[in-house]
């Protein structure tokens, strides 16, 4: 099997969600977080291992982690688009946030005093979604949502428990020579890692030790037979999706060019040009021009 692609969720979790690679995960998270919220340490809550399999299928491919201040993170790579993805991200946050009270509920201690103690222990939960599809309608590749006052745009300390980060990998169009931020470097790596190895990794990325380590890890990553089957099925979907997007774009471009040719031909007809002249100008066939003439009549 050739070089594995970190956009495939299995590989992503094995790369960023393994105990020996917490430095790589920390670098990626800090590349996404604002400068005033950088973290110094990350601990995995569900490190990658064979128990991620359930009845022959991978069941847990998001990465759950906690920083030195107790904040909880859920990081996921997703190649499948969905109109419900926003609700999915909110559900992941709600599940992570509410699960902090499980120890209270499990003991059937639902009186107000006990819940108050439980509430006091709640930590901020952050969902990071790396998406290999376009979800938002604008051209920005990074979006951040949190709870703020609608009028003042201020946050209340007792409501500052929800952060949602969305990174749309396909929207980033930066070039190697123009890379400036760590996030731009990580996106460039994720978009192209399956093509790189230790010898071909561009200097713009190789200068980051965590990206060098990620490249080396991918180059030597071993997948067992079960993992290979899952990876190949997801890779096929990814390649089919890439082909579909390219085909769709090509059709849109072709249709736009055809519309332009038709508009120019109509103008030529109105000006009294003969079919041959219109054909030479627009690239349409004589038959197509003649059909347009009949439609004008």
Which is nearest to 81 in space by CA: 115, 119, 129? 129
Tell me the C-alpha distance between 46 and 106, whole Å. Answer: 21
Distances (CA, A) of 138 to 53, 127, 192: 37, 21, 23
Residue 297 has pLDDT above 60, yes or no: no
User: Looking at residue 281, what is its pLDDT?
Assistant: 80
- In the chain, which residue ranges form alpha helices assigned H by DSSP? 9-16, 22-32, 85-98, 102-106, 112-120, 182-192, 203-206, 209-220, 225-270, 275-282, 286-296
CB 129 within 8 A of CB 165: yes
Q: How confident is the model at residue 246 (pLDDT cuts 50, 70, 90)?
A: low
Confidence of residue 249 (pLDDT cuts 50, 70, 90): low
Contacts of 194 (CB under 8 A, 6+ apart): 2, 3, 4, 5, 6, 7, 218
Task: Name the 3-class secondary structure at 144.
Answer: strand
Q: What pLDDT is recorded for position 115? A: 59
Query: How does pLDDT run across 63-86, given as a tens digit for each residue?
Result: 999 999 999 999 999 888 778 899
Per the model's pLDDT, the better-predicted residue between 8 and 30 turns out to be 30
Nearest to 162 by CA among 234, 222, 89: 89
Task: Give the integer Cα–Cα distance in Å for 164 and 130.
Answer: 11
Q: Where are the domains of the chain?
A: 9-223, 225-297
If one compares 194 and 41, the residue with the highest pLDDT of the two is 41
Could you give the strand order of the β-sheet that contains 72-78, starting from the edge strand earlier in sequence?
A: 42-44, 63-67, 72-78, 125-131, 162-168, 142-146
Average pLDDT, the chain: 84
Mean of the pLDDT values across residues 93-112? 72
Interhelix angle for 209-220 vs 22-32, to 10°? 130
User: Is the predicted pLDDT of residue 201 greater than 80, yes or no?
Assistant: yes
The pLDDT tens digits for 266-286 are 877 777 778 788 787 887 787
Q: What is the pLDDT of residue 224?
A: 79
């Amino acid at each position: 099997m050739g070089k594995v692609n970190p956009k495939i969720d299995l590989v992503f979790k094995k790369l960023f969600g393994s105990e020996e690679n917490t430095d790589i995960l920390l670098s990626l998270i800090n590349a996404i977080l604002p400068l005033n919220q950088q973290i110094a340490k990350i601990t995995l809550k569900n490190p990658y291992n064979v128990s991620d399999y359930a009845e022959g299928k991978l069941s847990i491919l998001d990465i759950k982690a906690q920083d030195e201040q107790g904040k909880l993170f859920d990081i996921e790579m997703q190649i499948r688009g969905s109109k419900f993805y926003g609700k999915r991200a909110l559900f992941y946050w709600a599940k992570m946030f509410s699960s902090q009270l499980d120890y209270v509920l499990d003991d059937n201690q639902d009186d107000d005093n006990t819940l108050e103690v439980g509430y006091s222990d709640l930590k901020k939960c952050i969902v990071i979604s790396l998406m290999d599809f376009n979800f938002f309608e604008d051209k920005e590749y990074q979006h951040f949502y949190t709870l703020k006052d609608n009028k003042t745009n201020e946050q209340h300390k007792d409501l500052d428990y929800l952060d949602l980060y969305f990174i749309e990998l396909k929207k980033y169009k930066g070039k190697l020579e123009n890379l400036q931020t760590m996030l731009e470097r990580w996106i460039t790596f994720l978009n192209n890692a399956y093509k790189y190895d230790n010898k071909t990794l561009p200097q713009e990325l190789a200068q980051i030790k965590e990206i060098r380590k990620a490249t080396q890890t991918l180059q030597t990553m071993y997948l067992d037979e079960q993992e290979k089957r899952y990876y190949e099925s997801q890779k096929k979907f990814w390649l089919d999706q890439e082909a579909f997007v390219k085909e769709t774009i090509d059709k849109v471009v072709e249709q736009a060019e055809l519309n332009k040719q038709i508009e120019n031909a109509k103008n030529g007809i109105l000006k009294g040009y003969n079919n041959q002249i219109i054909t030479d100008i627009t690239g349409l066939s004589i038959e197509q021009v003649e059909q347009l003439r009949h439609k004008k009549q």
